[in-house]
Copies of this chain bind each other. A is one copy, B any other.
Amino acid sequence: MKFSSKIQRCGLSPIRKFHPYVVAAEAKGRKVHHLNIGQPDIETPEAFFDAVRSFGESVLAYAPSPGVETYLEAVRDYYTGMGFPITCGDILATYGGSEALQIVLPCILEEGDEILIPEPFYPNYETFVHITGAAIRPIETNPDEGYRYASRDRIEPLINEHTRAILVTNPGNPTGVVLTEEELRTLADIAREHDLFLISDEVYRELVYGGQKLSSMLEFEDAAENVVVVDSVSKRFSATGSRVGVMITRNRELMAQAAKISQGRLCAATLDQVGAAALYRSMTPEYYVNLRAEYQRRRDAVVAGLTKIPGVRFNSPEGAFYLMVTLPVDDTEKLQYFLLEEFEDHGETVMYAPGEGFYATPGKGRSEIRIAYVTNPAELTRSIELLDLGIAAYNARKENV
């Protein structure tokens, strides 16, 4: 039996592929500290569980394909409250931010088409694009320039007759880059002038550490036809298992095309939408202030630790809960295998996501890693210390070979 050429172009998640080695390390009694995955330890607000527990219907019925009304209204009010006026008709409820991409990309991409994505990027974008038959044209960035990408001279030379869209994550995963108002405007202008969709994955919106105004591509009314916002409750409310997101666009034709897929899969999960509506309704400004402060403490712990490691290069991240770090090693995947199979300090070791999987350009990212700072500061401090010790042990071993 034959498999499609598209699925064969896809890879397994570079974040999850070390899982068997973790299992083996744990079987040897090692404690593995995790800097590799975006699962926060912050409690999901009780409002979610309360709403789910008090669900009063005796039949758990299909939700409407566009979404449960109370959920759509809660999302609308959240955006309107930030000064981005949208209607419920601009919103499609999805299974997390992931499904928003799984819906919008097949609507606009197919064989021969290209989508511009700044690299390094969230690796699952590659799967979602490859399944459509299209290709990613990476917008190259440079660690020494803090991975910034949103300028005309970097993007416009990449646009050709095959280009259909630009996809950005802001605040950035894996880089922690937060776009400035001027950069946002530049992206909107480029999309409008070149007649491209601008897909903006804004799931980390609230997690900014420089006092920036919370932003959304929805602010640019003149690019309303171009902009598609992807959002989710996963990170904002520490509810990654709830799988509730949205695709937002004021482009009526795109919404009509997307309805074909959303009707095809009937609806997103009813109870999760009920819970998500309650999350949005219950949230106060203090919630976000505290959430931001907590992640800032975590960021600061990681930055303080990294600063002590000789030869490490990085920029302090401005948002989200990730950063890319260049390590003084030949190959961070080899280092990861070493850390899981050979290294230990007091029975402990550490795990991160090797950088190569975040790049479309072959060979790039080999000295980089992505760190997710989703555990508490003490745990993060120890994790970075293990990284420091591991690098030294790895390089010492290599020099002795």
- A residues contacting B by CB (< 8 A) are 1-8, 10-13, 16, 39-44, 48-49, 52-53, 55, 58-63, 65, 95-96, 98-99, 102, 106-111, 113, 124, 127-128, 131-133, 164, 195-197, 225-226, 238-243, 251, 253-254, 257, 259-261, 263-272
Question: From residue A380, how far is it (CB to closest CB) to chain B in Å?
Answer: 17
Q: How far is the CB of A288 from chain B (nearest CB, A)?
A: 18
Nearest-CB residue, chain B, relative to A109 = B4
In contact, A261 and B106 (Cβ under 8 angstroms): no
| A4-B271 in contact (CB<8A) | no
Can you name the residue of chain B whose Cβ is closest to the Cβ of A239? B60
When the two chains form their complex, are residues A265 and B61 in contact, meaning their CB atoms are under 8 A apart? Answer: no
- Contact B44–A60 (Cβ < 8 Å): yes
Q: Which residues of B contact A271 (CB under 8 A)?
A: 52, 241-242, 271-272
Q: What residue in chain B is nearest A9 (Cβ atoms)?
A: B260
Q: How far is the CA of A99 from the CA of B243 in the complex (A)?
A: 14
Write out the residue numbers on chain B whose beta carbons fall within 8 Å of the beta carbon of A40. Answer: 59
Q: Are B253 and A269 in contact (CB under 8 A)?
A: no
Q: Are B42 and A240 in contact (CB under 8 A)?
A: no
Contact B264 A127 (CB under 8 A): yes
Given known contacts A4-B106, A197-B1, A253-B3, A265 and B59 CB-to-CB distance under 8 angstroms: no
Closest Cβ of chain B to A202, distance in Å, is 18
Q: Are B243 and A106 in contact (CB under 8 A)?
A: no
- If the complex has contacts A60-B48, A127-B260, A260-B127, are A3 and B107 also in contact, measured as CB distance less than 8 A? yes
Known A110-B133, A259-B12, A261-B131; contact A225-B1, beta-carbon cutoff 8 A: yes
The reply to whether A96 and B264 form a contact with Cβ atoms under 8 Å apart is no
Given contacts A16-B263, A99-B265, A133-B133, 19 further A-B contacts (CB under 8 A): A1-B108, A1-B251, A4-B107, A4-B113, A6-B110, A10-B260, A12-B260, A43-B59, A44-B59, A52-B53, A60-B241, A62-B240, A95-B95, A95-B265, A95-B268, A124-B266, A128-B264, A243-B267, A272-B272
Do A241 and B225 have beta carbons less than 8 Å apart? no
Asked if residues B106 and A6 are in contact (CB atoms below 8 Å), the reply is yes
Q: Which residues of B contact A65 (CB under 8 A)?
A: 13, 16
For A267, list chain B residues within 8 Å (CB): 241, 243
Number of this chain's copies in the assembly equals 2
Q: Which chain B residue lies CB-closest to A125?
A: B264
- Identify the closest chain B residue to A37 (Cβ): B62
- Select one of B12, B108, B238 contacting A59, CB under 8 A: B238
* Alpha-carbon distance A111/B134, docked complex (angstroms): 13
Chain B residues whose CB sits within 8 angstroms of the CB of A272 once the complex forms = 269, 271-272
Cβ B13 vs Cβ A41 within 8 A: no
Nearest Cβ on chain B to A63's Cβ, whole angstroms: 6
Cα A164 to Cα B59 in complex, Å, equals 38
| Chain B residues in 8 Å Cβ range of A265 | 95-96, 98-99, 102, 124
Complex formed: what's the CA distance from A53 to B55 in Å? Answer: 10
For A238, the chain B residues whose CB sits under 8 A away are 59-60
Looking across the interface, which residue of chain B has its beta carbon closest to that of A265? B98
Is the Cβ of B1 less than 8 Å from the Cβ of A226? yes
Most buried by B among A63, A98, A271: A271
- Chain B residue numbers with a CB within 8 Å of A261 are 7, 10, 127, 131
Whether B44 contacts A2 by the Cβ 8 Å rule is: no
A1 and B164 in contact, given A52-B52, A60-B239, A106-B7 (Cβ under 8 angstroms): yes
A-B contact pairs, 16 of them (CB 8 A): A3-B108, A4-B108, A4-B132, A7-B257, A7-B260, A40-B59, A41-B59, A44-B60, A59-B238, A61-B241, A98-B264, A110-B133, A124-B266, A128-B264, A243-B266, A269-B269
Bound: A272/B55 CA distance, A: 14
